[in-house]
Each structure stands twice: as C-alpha cells, then as structure tokens.
Amino acid sequence: MTNSRGPGNVIMIEIQAEHVTEVFTGFGEVNRSAEAVATYALQQYQRWLKASVPVGVHLADQIMLPLAIAGQGQYATMPLSQHSITHIELIKRFLEIDVSAERVDHDQYVVHLNTAT
C-alpha cells in the first residue's frame, strides 16, 4: 500500500488484572518482520511479568499527575524511564508535591507522592 500512513504491522497485548490494565505494543518498521514486532511486544510483557509489579514502565509516568493532583499516592513499578524521571521533575517544579522513587529490588521501585511539607 503506497499511501499508508503508518509503518505497517502493529501488535497489542492487553492484560486486564483486578486493579489495572496494562498494554504492551510493538509497531512495525521498514525492514522489520512481523515476527520481530511480535517478539518486541512479548519481551515487554515478559519483563513486566517478571518484575511482579502492578504498574508497567509506560503507565508509571501517566499516573503520576493524577496522584500529584490528589495530593498523595504510591505505586510499585519497574525501573523508571527517562520520561518518568522528567515527569517527576516537572511535578516538583509546578506543584507543591514531594515525589520520590525507592528501589526495593532489582526490577522494582515504589514511587511515593505526598504534599510538600
């Protein structure tokens, strides 16, 4: 298809747990096989499953702002992405919220958000 707006294949793995829904996605690229796209998404899922945390790496930065606006919250997640680290700095800069990430295991962190004292 010469008029395609996207790079081709896409796969989404959706996991619905009791308190969270996680989505793992692989996008096709030029010269990337469908198998490679599927393998990438599967590897993301397996990494999250191995970490035994409710919040995956991509959801971790998305739930920070609602918790910050609420004034408090905490959640277990995987090692923070650069996007999450940047998000923490932005929240600290614009809201009166203390945010910290405590490493509890090799693949597990707990993010704490509390009203600044």
> Residue 67, CB half-sphere, CA atoms under 13 Å: how many?
20
Predicted local confidence at residue 117, as pLDDT: 77
Domains and CATH numbers, the chain: 10-51 (no CATH), 57-115 (3.30.1370)
Predicted local confidence at residue 19, as pLDDT: 87
Q: Any bridge partners for residue 97, and if so which?
A: 115
Q: For residue 12, with 0-12 CB atoms within 10 Å meaning exposed, 13-18 middle and 19 or more buried, which class applies?
A: exposed
Predicted local confidence at residue 82, as pLDDT: 97
Active site residues: 83
Tell me the average confidence (pLDDT) per consecutive run of 10 residues in the chain, 117 residues long: 70 92 92 92 96 94 96 97 96 95 95 92
